[in-house]
Amino acid sequence: MRRFTWSMSSTSVSSSNSYSQTFQQLPGAIIIGVRKGGTRALIDMLSLHSGVAVSQKEVHFFDLQKNYEKGLPWYVSQMPYAFPDKLTIEKTPAYFTDVHTPERIHQMNPDIKLLLIVREPTLRMISEYTHAFHNRLRIQKQYMSINDFLLKDGEIKLKCIALNRSLYYVHMQNWLEYFPLDSFHIVDGDELIRKPWQEINKVERFLKLEPQINSSYFYFNETKGFYCLKDHGQEQCIRESKGRAHPYVAPAILEKFYQYFHEPNKKFFSLVSRTFNWS
């Protein structure tokens, strides 16, 4: 694996225009995943905090070789301009399952704070299918049915990429080779939907941020069926491509996956010293 050596002294860039007092700087925290777990909702919530500056796009620096080879100055150039006392955060959910990313992030900053958001594995997998299905639909291309996506001849597709992404313990083992457990805060993505202010309060504590984001920052959207944000009195919900209704999956098929994920989930719980309310 190609390695790069970077000088930490060259990892902030000041603006020469009206932003003369602001800088682009390395993130102090990264949302590493998991895909379709609620990473967009999480970073949108954090963006409301006065002490945080967030990157609005997924940078894909550590997981894409073509970006990684551009070096740390390029990575910094993708960060938002912010005052030096603000915490810069980026999110790229593909980081969690990429085998090279943990070592590369550790090489950049072994003390960085890492945010991982997880959902019940079967629902996360179906959400990934739903996202792919609508993307294909948008460009008028056919996509397999949910049953064909999940099963072959009535049995679970063990080589399904979406299934692999829900085997959280496999990927967490890789991260724990480079970072201690206290470098991570694991957000319960299912609770983030039900009571977002409670989950975001835990994130604030982990990041040592002043408590700011409370229930007044949220309102329940009756049309969408979940909580959305209020920013200075302005209501905003996640984009249309998020929060779509899942296709129907027969209870017997769901039960097959709940049983399949039972042991992997136990391994994940053991790794992170925490349990989640998953079937």
What pLDDT is stored for residue 41 in this prediction?
94
The answer to whether the beta carbons of residues 206 and 214 sit under 8 Å apart is no
The answer to whether the beta carbons of residues 70 and 4 sit under 8 Å apart is no
Q: Which of 93, 85, 81, 98 is nearest to 32 (CA)?
A: 93
Lowest mean pLDDT among 7-21, 45-59, 95-109, 232-246: 7-21
C-alpha–C-alpha distance, residues 31 and 188, integer Å: 13
What pLDDT is stored for residue 257 in this prediction?
96
What pLDDT is stored for residue 179 in this prediction?
98
Per-residue pLDDT of 224-258, as tens digits, reads: 888 999 876 677 786 654 556 888 899 999 999 99
Q: Which residues partner with 117 through β-bridges?
A: 187
Average pLDDT over residues 187-216: 97
Average pLDDT over residues 22-46: 96
Taking the domains of the chain in order of start, what are their residue ranges? Answer: 26-272
Fold of 26-272: Rossmann fold (3.40.50)
Q: Which of 71, 74, 62 is nearest to 175 (CA)?
A: 62
Average pLDDT over residues 121-148: 82
Give 131's pLDDT tier (boundaries 50, 70, 90): confident
What pLDDT is stored for residue 3 in this prediction?
43
pLDDT surpasses 50 at 105:
yes
Tell me if residue 236 falls in helix, strand or coil: strand
Tell me if residue 72 falls in helix, strand or coil: helix
Lowest mean pLDDT among 22-36, 134-148, 253-267: 134-148
The answer to whether the beta carbons of residues 91 and 201 sit under 8 Å apart is no
**Distance, first Cα to last Cα, the chain:** 39
Amino acid at 183: S
Per DSSP, the chain holds a count of helices (H) and strands (E) of: 11, 12
Q: How far is CA 169 from CA 77, 115, 173, in A?
A: 33, 16, 6
Average pLDDT over residues 34-54: 96
What pLDDT is stored for residue 279 in this prediction?
61
Task: Look up the pTM and report it.
Answer: 0.89
